[in-house]
A and B are shown apart, each in its own frame.
Chain A
Amino acid sequence: MTNKNELDNDEALQERLKEIKNQKGIIGYILRSSNSAAVDLKDPQKIIDYAVLSSAVLDLSNNMTEKLQVGEVEKAVVESDETKLLSIKLGNNHLSIFMEQSVDHNKLCKELK
């Protein structure tokens, strides 16, 4: 059963995500919990592509950390020429933020923790 603290934390996280979403270079985010998901992307047509990518990043991170024995995943970052994906565990939630290459993902991590 969800307690009040968790609800407060979730609400605070949603607030922070709204702020982050408006920052320059942020493409959008996918927030998954055990029983729901919140998606906010600038290009809604790409929801499926980004959801598949977010899930594949999580799978690869878990597989690599297990095989190379570096412990449970805290965060993962994927970088292509123009785009970056920050995948981070926040309590019971798993957050994927998509952004342009120029965005400082370490700064975002600090804002979220």
Chain B
Amino acid sequence: MNREPYAISLNSALTEIKKTYPGIHHSFLFTNTGLIVAKDLETNEEVIQNIFESFDDLKEKTKTIGNINNFSVTGKNGKLFLSNVDDMYLVLATSKSVDESQINSITKIIIPTILKTVETLVSTHLQSKPEKKLIVDTISGFFAGDSVQIDKETLIDWTNTLDSDEIKKTKVTKEETSDSIDQVKIETFAGNSVLCKVKEITDPKLKVKNLIRIPEKICKSLVVKKGDQVLVKPML
């Protein structure tokens, strides 16, 4: 999942929430794998990582009572709230006098609503753009070249899906060569991206759907390896 729209929306939301509720001192959101989705400026990533590791340890040990929905701590000088929101965990550190009904509104209404809205927007946006998640296979050796290779079927799908004004007015059939798409943009989930030439996979044994064969040196620059998933977008 492309988390960029989530990060932008949620970072703004956390900033606004902090302005509205001055009792909140720290706020951040991480996934159940420890990926930081959004955080305020005051909290550093090492602290979040450390908290995630302790929390992950607790999750392992709570199997006897099931998945954790909420975890709250009252300290001498403040309170902490860790809440499960759509497979992510929102952490809020607040003053001791914070109104808990406001915290419930944030964790149960505001953040889930933002997540749902962003999800709807992202999926609508993706429907209009034929980006595809493909699995990386590496091309090595002297003849690796600079082009990536994708199966013919995917290239034809893209050609047919893309706006006819931008590419071609007649649909491409499976028998034709889909030479309309010259380039693709490859994005990794860590945010690295590269634009490169594309060809169809020629090796009949490797004509597998949803595979992208990438020369080793491009793999290195993208920091991906065989078996990883990347997001590939056709370019004109």
Seen from chain A, the residues whose Cβ lies within 8 Å of a Cβ on chain B are: 46, 49-50, 52-53, 56-57, 59-61, 63-65, 67-83, 85, 98
Contacts and interface: CB of A to CB of B under 8 A. Distances in A.
A56 B77 contact: no
B26 A80 contact: no
Nearest to B82: A64
11 contacts: A60-B58, A63-B50, A64-B80, A67-B51, A68-B26, A69-B93, A73-B73, A74-B76, A76-B71, A81-B69, A83-B66
A52 B68 contact: no
A75 to B, nearest CB: 5
A52 B61 CA distance: 7
A25 B79 CA distance: 26
User: Max chain A CB contacts within 10 Å: which of B57, B73, B79?
Assistant: B73
Dominant SS at the A interface?
mixed
Interface of B: 25-26, 43, 47, 50-51, 54-55, 57-58, 61-62, 64-80, 82, 91, 93, 96
A71 B50 contact: no
A76 B64 contact: no
A80 B78 CA distance: 23
Contact of B72 (A46, A76, A83): A76
Given A56-B58, A57-B58, A64-B51, A72 B65 contact: no
Given A70-B76, A78-B71, A63 B51 contact: yes
B62 A78 contact: yes
Contact of B80 (A46, A65, A78): A65
B67 A70 contact: no
A98 B65 CA distance: 10
Rank and list the top 6 A-B pairs by shortest CB-CB distance, nearest first: A71-B76, A70-B78, A70-B75, A71-B77, A49-B64, A80-B66
Contact of A80 (B43, B67, B74, B80): B67
A83 B51 CA distance: 23
Contacts of B61: 49, 52-53, 56
Contacts of A72: 75-76
Contacts of A73: 73-75
A65 to B, nearest CB: 4
A98 B72 CA distance: 15
B74 A81 contact: no
B64 A77 contact: no
A76 B57 contact: no
A79 B83 CA distance: 10
A79 B68 contact: yes
A100 to B, nearest CB: 11
Contacts of A46: 64
Given A70-B78, A77-B70, A78-B58, 20 more contacts: A46-B64, A53-B61, A53-B64, A53-B65, A56-B58, A57-B58, A60-B54, A63-B51, A64-B54, A68-B26, A68-B47, A70-B73, A70-B80, A71-B77, A74-B75, A75-B73, A75-B74, A79-B70, A80-B69, A82-B65
A73 B72 CA distance: 11
Nearest to B63: A49
Nearest to A109: B74
